[in-house]
Amino acid sequence: MNTGHHSSQETRMPAINPARCRPNGLRVLDLYCCAGGAGTGYADAGFEVVGVDIRPQPRYPFEFIRADALEVLADRSFLAEFDLIHTSPPCQRYTQAQRIHGNDHPDLLPPTRTLLQASGLPWVIENVPGAPMRPDLILCGSMFPELRDGPYGIKRHRWFEFAEPPALLTPPCHHPPRVVSVFGHGGHIYHGVAQWRRVMGIDWMNRDELAEAIPPAYTRYIGEAIAEQLPGKQDRAA
């Protein structure tokens, strides 16, 4: 792989999910990857995953490159090694906390979309409700029965925009009677990082990483649908 201006960090072996699909011959570039919530979902769907983040991510469970996501998106020869690009630009600018506190955060979603559109590859943007994007798909933790901890569950809406929206039947959203909020430092009802891990379906992140993550169930759901529409490497070589 030609990393060019990109610098690599040691790769960690991902934990094996017994329900993980067989490898599908497809590679996904996971930009603004943080600690790997989205990437793990794509791995569970059968993708080979490479993550990119400008900050070190010592718990990222796949091949990791420390680099600026926008610079990577401008590198066409590097992008040619992938079948799909997933992006999760920083969401702080679009959150309710930002509207309350008025802190200054970078607006990276528009330039990310511009470069994605020029890439010629299938792509996904994920962000919080209210971000400047088209909500082709809205997912919530309450749609996935595995993201429960007894009577507790997670209410975590996320928007997804696609280059070409896949055909998906969105499961119903049923918020549990007892909602676990995963954000910031946990608010006034915080039952500990162990419960956050259970309702997110993530067992390797610390509290701050969980607050920035999405449950892998979201991108497994998306990845399985996209893989149905993309030819595997063996098919393209035929």
Mind listing the pLDDT tens digit for each residue in 81-135?
999 999 999 975 555 544 444 556 688 999 999 999 999 999 999 999 999 999 9
How confident is the model at residue 157, as a pLDDT? 93
Using alpha carbons, list the distances in angstroms from residue 63 to 35, 59, 78, 183.
12, 11, 15, 26
Helices 37-44 and 216-229 pack at an angle, to 10 degrees, of 50
pTM score, whole prediction = 0.87
Sheet holding 123-127, edge to edge: 7-9, 63-66, 48-53, 27-31, 84-87, 123-127, 158-162, 137-139
**Do the beta carbons of residue 183 and residue 154 sit within 8 Å?**
no
For residue 5, pLDDT beyond 80: no
The DSSP letter of residue 177 is: S
Cα separation, 9 vs 138, whole angstroms: 33
Token representation of residue 186: 């946990």
